[in-house]
Amino acid sequence: MKWRKGGPLATVLSWVYVLILAAPLYYLVVSALKTNIEIFTRPFSLPAKWLWENFGTAWETARLGRALLNSVLVSGVAIVLTLLLAIPAAYALARTDNRLSKLITGTFSAGFLIPPFAALIPTVVLAIQTGLFGTREFQMLFLPASALPLSVLLLVQFMLTVPSSLVESASMEGAGHWLLLTRVYVPIAMPGVVSVAILQLLTFWNEYLFALTITGTAPDVRTVQVALPTLVSDATNLGVLAAGTVLTVLPVYVAYSLLNRRMQEALTAGAVKG
């Protein structure tokens, strides 16, 4: 036993925080099955009558089906594009060590620090000028750019683990860059590729402000993140809103429960490489 366990205070505090985290989530789930009146009068008790129709109402009012489809489409195309751009770049950076490659790595390191929000308004201007304002296509092109710095840096780390002997013997047999990349580097760096894919898919899926201001709120193109808040009005039905939120958060939690450990690795890797 290397690390001594915490005292009773640490134990209590760590579970108090779990309670603080869990309370809004529990409240969300029980509210999803209640009327506004019951939400207010009996906020934390189980619903007296389980109002399943809240889910149907949310689904139809916010047109969540279409929105989910848009989100899948945007995130899917964006992740493929991200990997197509990042993998060759990472391969090149992992195989060269000179001033130019250091400069490129430095550029991506600096880019990683700049939050995309900083350039939100000029990006909207860019979307208008390219005629892609109000389309999903702009998001598909833009999201990879915001994801590139971290993706490239992470992939380089993984590609540096390729044993040099392997590369030498492959080169000796006449393998060019294409064969080396597809037969040696990508298979060995596969855990990194998977991590980057999971990490960025989650980022793309959850993106909100750019989707709101560039793709917009038109029901046929909007993503699920944009669709859900449209349920808020002067007379919001809190039960329907909660039901919609549950429906929207669910895919991410299902993915998390399936890939629990992998996902945690991917997301921590993303922040560890600072």
Partner 1 sequence: MSSSSIRAGTSSRILWLTVPSLVWFAVFSVGPLVAMFVIATLKWKGLLYEPTYIGLGNVTKVFGDPTFHAAVRNSLIQVAIAIPVMIPLAFMLGYHLNTKPRGYRILSVFYFSPGLISISMTGMIFYGVLSPNGGVNGLLSAVGLDSAATAWLADPATALPALIAIDLWRGVGWTAVLFAARLASLDGEVIEAAQMDGAGRFRTMWRIAFPMVKDYVRTLTMLQFLWTLFTSAALVLLLTKGGPGTSSTTLSYLVYAKAFSQRDLGYSQVVGVVLLLVGIAGMFLIRALFRTRKSRTPKEDTR
Per-residue x/- mask for partner 1, residues 239 to 258, rule CB under 8 A? Answer: --xx-xx--xx--xx--x--
Near partner 1 by CB under 8 A: residue from 173, 174, 235, 274 = 274
Single residue of 125, 169, 187, 218 touching partner 1 by CB under 8 A: 125
**DSSP, res 6:** P
What six digits make up the tokens of 271? 């922040």
Nearer to partner 1, 12 or 190 (CB): 12
Q: Which of 68, 69, 73, 141 binds partner 1 (CB under 8 A)?
A: 141
Please report, as a single letter, which amino acid is at residue 38. E
Angle, to 10 degrees, between the axis of helix 260-272 and the axis of helix 238-258?
A: 90
Yes or no: say if 132 and 138 are a contact pair by the CB < 8 Å rule: yes
Cα→Cα distances 140→11, 76, 81, 213, Å: 45, 8, 8, 14
* 66 makes contact with partner 1 (CB under 8 A): no
Q: Which stretch binds partner 1 (CB under 8 A): 17-25, 47-55, 72-80, 185-193?
A: 17-25
Which residues have C-beta within 8 Å of that of residue 160, sequence separation ≥ 6?
Answer: 94
59 is an interface residue for partner 1 by CB under 8 A: no
Smallest gap from residue 49 Cβ to partner 1 (A): 18
Smallest distance from partner 1 to CB 255, Å? 9
Nearest CA to 237 among 49, 74, 51?
Answer: 51
Among 23, 46, 48, 80, binds partner 1 (CB under 8 A): 23
Q: Minimum distance between the CB of residue 43 and partner 1, rounded to whole angstroms? A: 3
In this complex, which beta carbon is closest to partner 1, that of residue 194 or of residue 256?
256
Which of 206, 198, 194, 166 minimizes the C-alpha distance to 71? 206
